[in-house]
Chains A and B, each alone.
Chain A
Amino acid sequence: MITLQDKNILVTGASSGIGRQIAITASELGAKLTIIGRNIQKLEETLALLAGDGHKIYVIDLSDAANLTSLISESTAYDGVVFNAGVVEYLPVKFLNENKINSVFATNFDSNVVLSQKLMKNKLLKKGGSLVFVSSISSKLGVPGTAMYTASKAALSAFSKVLASELASQGIRCNSVSPGIIKTAMTEQAAHVVSDEELKKAEAEYPLGYGQPEDVAGLIMYLLSDISKWMTGSDLVIDGGFTLK
């Protein structure tokens, strides 16, 4: 049975969607959570949904490393960290510019790298701990209009592998997960770009339909728990069979 009893777990992007569900499920398995998000109201909603007590929240915009100071100085070492914060932007390559490239990478890649670096440097990762990076199935595909999102997620998966090597001697594991389309506010927003009709057509490409946040959360619980103690450097696809087609 998977348990996270008394594990100290940090989750970024926990205001909504997959991140919120990861925090909720982890708390139900006994973890003490520190959750990070940009929206205080939504973050407090997540906090109210957590089982047990002793959880902490930090309202931080991770795209600026200067905002990490209080989190780093007030934290005790973590058994697990889920790097989940991310944004999606649909833009054909022809319309890219330096600002757009930087803003997507700042959130989806740079902020996660900087946070992991600060946690390491300040000895805030426990031996035997587990780091999980939330990537995307699109990092392995070539869906038109997703160049920067896809590139930033592919970079994250690649980073996770190198980090897995560097942390292996301390017994700290590092893996990424690549989900297919999950029904969240973020994909709802995408629906406004793609149109509801097209999103429904796209769902037909998923043998098991679109995923729910708890589907990804379940896989991440496995990675955070000691049951997966021999797994590191992997990128796990969870996509309802999408890539079978």
Chain B
Amino acid sequence: MEINTFLKNFADILEDTDAALIQQETVFRDLDEWDSLIALSLIAMADEEYSVKLTGDDIKSSNSLNDIFEIIKNKA
């Protein structure tokens, strides 16, 4: 799997955030739009695109989008 595709997939679940802000080092929790529904969307996206079951604790233990990417890569 590829980081740029992952970043695009993540940008796709957002509605109000400029895609340019979605970078490897982006701290997703600091995005204005981040909330529990986006967290559920991230879990659903990981399942749909990568067949990976991401947990709430995986998200909790991550800071950057790259952290999430690494977790998905390890579970895939």
Judge whether A94 is part of the interface by a CB distance below 8 angstroms: yes
CB-CB under 8 A from A94, the residues of chain B are 13, 41, 44
Beyond A91-B40, A145-B40, A198-B36, whether A193 also contacts B55 by CB under 8 A is: yes
CB-CB under 8 A from B59, the residues of chain A are 195
Q: Which of A134-175 contact B (CB under 8 A)?
A: 144-145
A113 to chain B, nearest CB (A): 28
Q: Mark B36-65, 1 if CB is under 8 A from A, else 0.
A: 110011011100100000011101100000
Judge whether A191 is part of the interface by a CB distance below 8 angstroms: yes
Judge whether A92 is part of the interface by a CB distance below 8 angstroms: yes
Complexed CA–CA distance, A95 and B13 (Å):
10
Q: Mark A89-100, 1 if CB is under 8 A from B, else 0.
A: 011101100000
CB-CB under 8 A from B37, the residues of chain A are 92, 144-145
B4 to chain A, nearest CB (A): 22
Secondary structure at the B interface, as helix, strand, loop or mixed, is helix
Complexed CA–CA distance, A198 and B40 (Å):
13
CB-CB under 8 A from A92, the residues of chain B are 37, 40-41, 44
Complexed CA–CA distance, A138 and B35 (Å):
20
Beyond A94-B13, A95-B45, A95-B48, whether A191 also contacts B56 by CB under 8 A is: yes
Judge whether A192 is part of the interface by a CB distance below 8 angstroms: yes
Q: Does A195 lie within 8 Å of B40, measured CB to CB? A: no
CB-CB under 8 A from A193, the residues of chain B are 40, 43, 55-56
Name the contact of B40 in the complex, choosing from A90, A191, A192, A196 (C-beta under 8 A).
A90
Q: Does A192 lie within 8 Å of B36, measured CB to CB? A: no
Complexed CA–CA distance, A145 and B36 (Å):
9
Q: Does B55 lie within 8 Å of A144, measured CB to CB? A: no
User: Interface residues, chain A, CB within 8 Å of chain B?
Assistant: 90-92, 94-95, 144-145, 191-198
Given A144-B40, A145-B37, A193-B40, 13 more A-B residue pairs with CB atoms under 8 Å apart are A90-B40, A91-B40, A91-B44, A92-B40, A92-B41, A145-B40, A192-B55, A192-B56, A193-B56, A195-B56, A195-B57, A195-B59, A196-B56
User: Interface residues, chain B, CB within 8 Å of chain A?
Assistant: 13, 36-37, 40-41, 43-45, 48, 55-57, 59-60
